[in-house]
Structure 1
Amino acid sequence: MRHIYLVTHPEAQHHVDGLVGGWYDSELTACGLLQAERIAEALVSKIGPEDVEVHSSDLQRANRTAQRIAQRFSVEVHTDPRLRERSNGEADGLPQAWLAERRIPLPQYGDRLGHHDGPAGAETRMELVKRLYPALNEILRRPATTQIIVSHGSASSYLIASWIGMPMTLADRAFFPLTSGSITTLLRNDSHFSHQVVSLNETQHLQNLEESASSPDATNI
């Protein structure tokens, strides 16, 4: 059996400031740091004394979360820039309203993965999945049977698509709504080699903390 715990980083400063995330290297807020501790506690409760690997996006809002988790398991963090969120190019770090005024809407039909949103330098969704799918495959080739991956909103959604074996070219309509600070549990059942989504977007561990000021677009965390 292999367990993957997919974590979306908690509240970051760009959420509070109403800025576009993407590759903008926003720090965790004070609330986000508390949420990271709650995430680590929840994972310790779920996993127990098993050996664990921790993998993370290199952006500091994800990596600092991963560091808090890794400390609880006394392991190192394996950072990988391929686990970053989708880049919004020149819009990263600018007000969400600036991007909203210039974004070219995603079409209902046609080449949705190859669609360009408008901002110069922004990644297409195809460029995103072409780096995420190989990154996950490399993680899965490692011998560890319990792994934690800390990433971002839309990136994590496509990681789930990869996990369940959805071909890249069919991922244009896949979307798993994931909120900041959530835990999603993935399981490979070795009796019939199925890839299961055991739980999606768990946030119970964040109860009684200050409400996260998440961006309205969950694909941009």
Structure 2
Amino acid sequence: MRILHVVTHPEATHHADGLVGGWFDSDLTGRGLVHAGRIADALAARLPADAAVEVFSSDLLRARRTAEVVGKQLGVGVLLDADLREKSYGEAGGRPQAWLDERFIPPPAAGERMRHDEGVPGAETKWELAVRAYAALDRILRSAVAHQVVVTHGGTATFLLAAWIGMPIDAAGQVGFRFSPGGVTVLREDDYFHNRAIVQLNDLGHLA
């Protein structure tokens, strides 16, 4: 059996300051750092004491700090992967959210949604984000380690789940899962049928 714990990093400074995240390299807030510790404690309690574990993370600071706290608690290093980054918002990254809201062009209800131009110079399309996320999950799943933790971002996590259930990337234009800062999502693949399940979505109980 393979079990993945997908962690969305907890509160970061861009959340607190009302700024656009994306590739803007914000850090965890003090509250976010406390929550990272609670995430680490929760994962340590869930994982078998003698299990081999791998921790993968986006290389952006807010995710990397979260992963380092988790890795320290579990006694393992962190494997950084830039493909686990959040969607790039181009020129909007680090600017006030209102700046992006004034310029953002939402995707159409039908038709081309994955390659849709959102109207912000330098921003990635959903297609570019999905290609990265699918590739990152493929590399993670090449490992024979049965227990893995993946620290990433809310937008990226949606496409990790789409890839996990085998959704063709061309069909992922309308998929959307709601993730909160500090949430933990549990994915499981059984050894017999090799079916993949989303066992728990965006669990926040450890932050209460």
For residues 19-66 of structure 1, the C-alpha deviation after alignment (integer angstroms, 9 at most, x for no partner) is 000000000000000000000000001103111000000001000000
What 5-or-longer segments of structure 2 have no aligned partner?
A: none
Identity %: 49
2:30 aligned partner: 30
1:115 aligned partner: 116
For residues 148-198 of structure 1, the C-alpha deviation after alignment (integer angstroms, 9 at most, x for no partner) is 000000100110010000010000011111111000000001111100000
Alpha-carbon distance in structure 2 between the residues aligned to 1:124 and 1:161: 16
Give 3-state SS (helix, strand or coil) of 2:185's partner.
Answer: strand
2:159 aligned partner: 158
Alpha-carbon distance in structure 2 between the residues aligned to 1:155 and 1:161: 10
Alpha-carbon distance in structure 1 between the residues aligned to 2:47 and 2:10: 20
TM-score, normalising length: structure 1? 0.93
Alpha-carbon distance in structure 1 between the residues aligned to 2:163 and 2:48: 27
What 5-or-longer segments of structure 1 have no aligned partner?
A: 208-221
TM-score, normalising length: structure 2? 0.98
The one-letter amino acid paired with 2:27 is E
For residues 56-78 of structure 1, the C-alpha deviation after alignment (integer angstroms, 9 at most, x for no partner) is 00001000000000001111100
Alpha-carbon distance in structure 2 between the residues aligned to 1:116 and 1:57: 24
1:72 aligned partner: 73
Alpha-carbon distance in structure 1 between the residues aligned to 2:48 and 2:41: 10
Deviation at 1:95, TM superposition (A): 0.3
The one-letter amino acid paired with 1:97 is A
Alpha-carbon distance in structure 2 between the residues aligned to 1:173 and 1:16: 29
Alpha-carbon distance in structure 1 between the residues aligned to 2:72 and 2:48: 14
CA RMSD of aligned residues (A): 0.6
Alpha-carbon distance in structure 2 between the residues aligned to 1:38 and 1:93: 27
1:195 aligned partner: 196
Alpha-carbon distance in structure 2 between the residues aligned to 1:177 and 1:116: 22
